[in-house]
Amino acid sequence: MHESAVFPLTMTEMHEKNIRVYLSVGSNMGDKNGNCIKGIDLLDSMDGVSVVSVSSFYRTAPVDYTDQEWFVNAAIGVDTFLKPESLMFTLKQVEQNLGQYEKSVRFGPRIIDLDIILYGDLIFETEKVTLPHPRMHKRCFVLKPLCDIAPDAIHPVFRSTVKALLENIKNDPEQKVEIINGQVDLNFCNV
């Protein structure tokens, strides 16, 4: 396991109990569904992280950099005792294990992308991590899957539910989100 002492934070209580964290997973290269499933499976095998829920998978239009393939996106609920920067380090390890290294184009194509969306009710910012995710409230591809598993989760800055945030942007014609399948049945998840 990655030594959290590398990241000297003052939130020692985060190590004493598990925190419910919501993540986003996406892929738009190769076997998109398979990449997401492999990422979720690998994440669940990492020390300090337990996958507890997975949303349906969605086919989603690219945002910001639109000259690329559509994505497959989902939301993941995990319990973790890792601090935010340690968790981000773990997510980057999963990405690298699946062949995703530094992205050559911001918002561009990727084999796998894992992001922390909500870390309990924490508001937190360092050079490596900003919580909650700074663009989550503008992204249907994040909010729609997250509504599958945590519609009543509260955005700690806006004090709005995930469901209410989605209502504000769901009719944006630029953000197409189509369900691919129902609830994902993965043998390591309690879905």
Handedness of CA 68, 70, 177, 20 (dihedral sign): negative
Instruction: Answer whether residue 5 shows pLDDT above 50.
Output: no
What proportion of the chain, given as a percentage, has pLDDT over 90?
69
9 assigned to some structural domain: no
Q: What's the pTM value of the predicted model, to 2 decimals?
A: 0.86
Out of 55-64, 110-119, 141-150, pick the least confident. 55-64
Q: Residue 156 maps to which CATH number? A: 3.30.70.560
32 assigned to some structural domain: yes
Confidence of residue 12 (pLDDT cuts 50, 70, 90): very low
The total number of structural domains in the chain stands at: 1
Identify residue 82 by its one-letter amino acid code: L
Instruction: Answer whether residue 39 shows pLDDT above 60.
Output: yes
3 assigned to some structural domain: no
For the residues 87-103, what does the mean pLDDT come to? 90
Q: What pLDDT shows up at residue 104?
A: 67
Q: Which residue has the tokens 């209410």?
A: 164
Instruction: Answer whether residue 57 shows pLDDT above 90.
Output: yes
Would you list the DSSP string of 9-54? -S-THHHHS-EEEEEEEEE-SSSHHHHHHHHHHHHHTSTTEEEEEE
Instruction: Answer whether residue 66 shows pLDDT above 80.
Output: no
96 assigned to some structural domain: yes
Q: What pLDDT shows up at residue 8?
A: 34
**Do 177 and 58 touch, CB atoms closer than 8 A?**
yes
Q: What pLDDT shows up at residue 100?
A: 83
135 assigned to some structural domain: yes
Q: The domain containing residue 60 runs over which residues?
A: 15-179
pLDDT digits (tens, 9 = 90+) for 131-185: 999 999 999 999 999 999 999 999 999 999 999 999 999 888 888 899 986 554 4
For the residues 93-122, what does the mean pLDDT come to? 88
For the residues 89-99, what does the mean pLDDT come to? 94
Residue 39, Cβ neighbours under 10 Å: how many?
Answer: 26
186 assigned to some structural domain: no
5 assigned to some structural domain: no
Q: Report in angstroms the alpha-carbon separations of 122 from 7, 91, 92, 157, 175.
A: 17, 18, 21, 9, 27
Instruction: Answer whether residue 9 shows pLDDT above 60.
Output: no
187 assigned to some structural domain: no
